[in-house]
Structure 1
Amino acid sequence: MAFPITSLLLFAIFLSIFLLITVPGVLVRLRANYNPKGLQLDPEDGVQPHTGPVTTSFFLMLSRVRRLEGWAGLMKGTVPTLLSYVVHSLFSAIFLDASLSSPPNHDIYNSPATTIWGTLLYCIFLPLVSLPPMIITYRSIVTPYQLPYFRPLHSLRVLLTPMERRKPWVLYLTPGLLAAELLHITYAVVGLRIIRHLLLPLLSHVDNSVPQHFSRSLTIFLAISLFSTAILCPLEVISTRLAVQRNHESAEHNSVAQEKAGDTKDFPEYSPDEDVIGLRNDTDPYLGFRDCARKIINEEGWRALYRGWWLTMFGVFATFA
């Protein structure tokens, strides 16, 4: 299948802008940062205060990452993000006849316009193919270690546990993660498309002589955007928390507990003296979708589910552009 040169150039330009905005991974670290309101228990059931960084603002996290890890730290996750985006875009272009020169066709909030069967295929494709790259991308962003760009197998020693490397399908069994992604994709691909078809006629039939029509349509648009953000943002936060949890088989730990670093001695750290973010205690992981939501609300407050909500709203806005 041949693509016009102009389409490829436009695709390359948009991809560069996309990576410049999203690759720094500030949003991933903001949502993954564990920041409980009070005390927590240590493995011996003793009470200890939380000592991790208290950073709940996107721009404060951006400043913190830049200060502790520099520009190199901001660019963590470049390679897996690039690969997953290219696969996503090529699938849309080849199987769903989406144009490479039309960036909205390659965003989860703006799935390619296709048939019902195409939409179903798209919804099935996204979680099955994009979930492992998402896990690798998120873990490569939150890891404190400097991973080589051109030695992926070497990097996987840090990003994946021995069991995950032996049995890659275990990534799909990460408790709650697939459910969170399915809910997110279903609403973003199907729900927003239905809402868009229902709302656009209201926005297109605007009578300049009757400005209240436009005011009513704008009010509906903002209400739906806020409602969609209220649904999608918590799902994105939960997916982030579950994706950075590791699966391993150990008799003395829960099967989803974060594995102790054992293959990291050859990897220098970006900031040995201070962690950029804190992660949940590896002896008390999230056990599923509902458990993750419940613990976030109980330990960090409901606002933790809406970190970076305005970025999610931008994605919703793009659906109606």
Structure 2
Amino acid sequence: MGDLNVFALFAIVGFSMAVSILITVPLTGALVRLRANYNPRGLRLDPEGNFEPHTGPVVTSFFGMLKRVKRIEGWGGLYKGLMPTLLFSLVLSVFAVTVLDADRASTPGRIDPPIAGPFGTLAYGLLSMLLSLPAAVITYRSITTPYKLPYLRPMYSIRILLTPTERKKPWMLYMTPGLLAAQVLNVAYTAFFLTAIRAFLLPRPSADELSLNTVKFGIYLFIELLSTVVLCPLEVISTKLAIQRNHAAPEYNSVEQEAEDDTLDGEEYTEYSGAEEDVIGLRHEKDPYLGLVDCAKKIVDEEGWKALYRAWWITLLAAVASAFAWVAPYFAP
């Protein structure tokens, strides 16, 4: 009977995870594409110093990107990134439960560590970030690549997603200019600053105190909402930096995006659908972002400061969900 209960529990958890992934993968894909899309405001200089007009897609809304993906790449395009999302979700879930003894699920897009004090939660967030950074790189590149990636041919997919340099030296993913710094800042803000504020204003309810202080909750919720100003630009910058591949060929800059896609001959979604345009445009491969500050500056100069707040309302919703998830025990029967 006990084995049956365990089997039923795993079946329920597996079904819930499957449903969640089927819903979130297309939404995450649209979000990543929207934030990764290069949409300069006007003319820009090419590597030779000549002015060239921008010819890429102009998409400024989340749902507009979702419709564009469906039109150009079909259902297959909507579920790009499914396999890495599934695999890394399983790995990180097992890590959180078995190693870190996490007692609750994190809010999507946020690092909400188990209760262990400010420094403990910071250590948890940094360790989780080190594990999730390669996952984010591979997932984001899976979403933005124009090539079709077979579900059951991981080595072929890795050859498309990673450069020869990155395949020979996987630790180069951590050396992508600015990416690690952006991730560390995000973790430090969410797992240390916000956690400390939350622990001060809203300590976990005890048996003697089960009532929620609405004033303190209002202050904490306001801080969470205000955090969108900080977190959304970090998320946009992280997305743009994650898809910027490390390339060490002598004729190219060591941080630029891959030239000529490594002469790959894979099938593209546009070939399959007959479309004559890509879903998104990327910045010129010979003019990469050189770091966190450089990325932020170039985004503002070339695309405008509003580009740093693409889909800001999703970051805001994640903040609201995190705040209400924390106070849920106050209303538990």
TM-score by length of 2: 0.86
Letter in 1 for 2:280: I
Aligned pairs (5 A) from 1:1-321:
4-5=6-7, 7-24=9-26, 25-99=29-103, 102-104=104-106, 108-114=110-116, 118-200=120-202, 214=214, 216-217=215-216, 219-263=218-262, 265-272=264-271, 273-320=276-323, 321=325
When residues 122 and 217 of structure 1 are mapped into structure 2, their CA distance, relative to the original with a 3 A threshold, is closer
**What's the offset of the Cα at 1:219?**
4.7
Measured in 2, the distance between the counterparts of 1:230 and 1:304 equals 13
When residues 246 and 190 of structure 1 are mapped into structure 2, their CA distance, relative to the original with a 3 A threshold, is same
When residues 20 and 114 of structure 1 are mapped into structure 2, their CA distance, relative to the original with a 3 A threshold, is farther
CA contact (8 A) 1:109 1:319 kept: no
CA contact (8 A) 1:32 1:241 kept: yes
Residue aligning to 2:328:
none
Measured in 2, the distance between the counterparts of 1:185 and 1:255 equals 27
Measured in 1, the distance between the counterparts of 2:68 and 2:108 equals 31
CA contact (8 A) 1:233 1:306 kept: yes
Letter in 1 for 2:196: I
Report the number of matched residues: 311
3-state DSSP of counterpart to 1:157 = helix
3-state DSSP of counterpart to 2:44 = strand
Measured in 2, the distance between the counterparts of 1:52 and 1:105 equals 34
| 1:24-57 deviations in Å (ceiling 9; x for gaps) | 2110000000001111112221111111111010
| 1:203-259 deviations in Å (ceiling 9; x for gaps) | 9756xxxxxx84x55652442122111111111100000000010112332211111
Letter in 2 for 1:159: L
**What's the offset of the Cα at 1:128?**
1.8
| Runs (5+) with no aligned partner, structure 1 | 207-212
**What's the offset of the Cα at 1:270?**
0.7
The farther-off stretch of 158-167 and 105-114 is 105-114
TM-score by length of 1: 0.89
Letter in 2 for 1:31: R
Residue aligning to 1:209:
none
When residues 82 and 118 of structure 1 are mapped into structure 2, their CA distance, relative to the original with a 3 A threshold, is farther
Measured in 1, the distance between the counterparts of 2:319 and 2:16 equals 19
| 1:158-193 deviations in Å (ceiling 9; x for gaps) | 101111111111111100000000111121222222
When residues 217 and 122 of structure 1 are mapped into structure 2, their CA distance, relative to the original with a 3 A threshold, is closer
Letter in 1 for 2:219: I
| Cα RMSD (Å) | 2.5
Measured in 1, the distance between the counterparts of 2:243 and 2:96 equals 27
CA contact (8 A) 2:202 2:217 kept: no
| Runs (5+) with no aligned partner, structure 2 | 326-333
| 1:134-173 deviations in Å (ceiling 9; x for gaps) | 1111001000110111111111111011111111111111
